[in-house]
Structures are given as structure tokens and as C-alpha cells.
Amino acid sequence: MKKTRLDKKFAALKKEGKKGFIAYIGAGDPNLNDTIDIVLKLEEAGVDIVELGLPFSDPLADGRVNQDAAIRALEAGSTFDGVMECVRKIRERSQIPMIFYAYLNTLTARGFENSMNEAAAAGVDGFLILDVPCEESGPYKEAIKTANLNNIVLITPTTPAERTSKIVKNANGFVYCVSREGVTGVRDTVAEGAPALVAQIKQHTHLPVALGFGIGTPEAAAEAAGYADAVVVGSAIVNKFHNNPHTEEGRADAAAFVAKMVQAVKN
């Protein structure tokens, strides 16, 4: 498998002795044209990797903020084809690594292999598929690999150690560590058990470990960067872009908020 933009980014961060910052937004929220602008603003703010939520009507792992973002995207007419065209337009102006946070139904509706090939051709680097247990992942991981995409996996606080070792064998790119039980959402502090969970994962893989779910302040992001290889911030960023005016000034203000979070992780 050839190295993706994601692989190269993590290799560069390791060489520099820096931690990564991954920003989550909903693709198509508030619409696909604005998604292009938001991704470019995130890159300008210093974000290393962008995680795009592929709009889905029943996002089980998501809290209210990201559910609402998915609904807004669907109501704005976002489709798989439209999102891939959005990625192609971003690629005309940026080579920032982009991965999709997705649910299986959206990808199997048009044929899973077709979805992977279309995504790779558009310029996507990988997928984090929320609802595929490792026991059923065989044909999916093969299609992801064949398309030269990263297969990112989730480990949660309730994942036993022996199961962690099975799950991470299917992964490349990085391992996404869920900091707390429950769904996505903004919190002021990192869950108490997060450092031990990251340490446990690192016993089973040499891949970078990114910590997400509930990181909503620069202080929490800095704390997470103390022991994880990358920090994922989603709901706080989705909220900021949504609640600000959809104007150049509003977007600049939201990007400035993200830049503070990035600096907290980098310093």
C-alpha cells in the first residue's frame, strides 16, 4: 500500500516531535460550497488533518451537535456524489489529509467497493467506519486496502485489552481512542481514564493514537496532547462555525477559535 497524505503527515509530525490536531466538521453543513471554505479556513488555522462526517440520517455514535449538523447537511441536499465533488474541489486548492467519519449504510447503498474507489479518486485518504465490528470487517478492510485508503479503527473505554489487540490489527493510519463512554459532545475536561486507555492501546500497536470525543477547550486539548499522538476536536468546532454568522468575518472568528486549540496542542 502506498503512503497516503495521512501517513505522510503523521510521519512528519513524529520527525518534528509535534502532536497532531484533527478537526471534525460535518460535510455539507451548512452546505457543500461552504464546506470547501471551512476546510480551507481550518488548514489556515494550523489543523493537520480534517475529519469529515459523511451525512447520515441515523448517526448512532453522535451527540446532539453532530446529529444536528448531519440533519442540516441532508436538508441542504448533500449526497455521496455531492460530497465527493466537494472533496475534488478542495483538492484543487489543498493537499491537507482528509478522512471520512462514516456509517456503513451510506457506503453499501452504492456498493462498498464502488464507494471506496470513488472516494479515493476524489482525493480522500481514509475511512473511520463507526458500525463495523472487527469480526465482520474482513471484506470491508480488503476493499479499503485495495483502494489505497487508511482504515481507521475505534477503541472505547469499554473495549477489553484482548479485543483491543484484535481491532488494531485491522488498522492503519492511526487508532482513534474514544476518551469517554457515550456519544460525541463538548466537555470542559478530559475523562479521568483517558491516559490509561491511551497507554493500553499503545501496548498493542505502533500506530499513532488520537484522542477524541468531548474535547472542547484549549486546556482539555493541551492535556490530551500530553499523552496522545493527536487530538480530535469536533463538536466544539461544529458549534463555533454554526453559531457564528456565515460571513467572511464569522468564519474568520471561528477559525481563530480553532487556531487557539491548535496552539494549545502544539505548545
Catalytic residues: 51, 62
> Which three cell numbers mark 196?
490509561
Cα–Cα distance for residue pair 127/106, rounded to 1 Å: 12
| DSSP classification of residue 260 | H
Residues in Cβ contact with 261 at an 8 Å cutoff, skipping those fewer than 6 apart: 21, 217, 218, 221, 233, 236, 237
> Which three cell numbers mark 39?
476546510
Q: How would you label 119-149 residue by residue, b for 16+ Cβ within 10 Å and e otherwise?
A: bbebbbbbbbbbebeeeebeebbebbeebeb
Give yes or no for a contact between 52 and 83, defined as CB atoms under 8 angstroms apart: yes
Residues forming beta bridges with residue 177, ordered by sequence position: 155, 211
SS3 265: helix
Give the closest residue to 171 by CA, choosing from 198, 195, 201, 192. Answer: 201
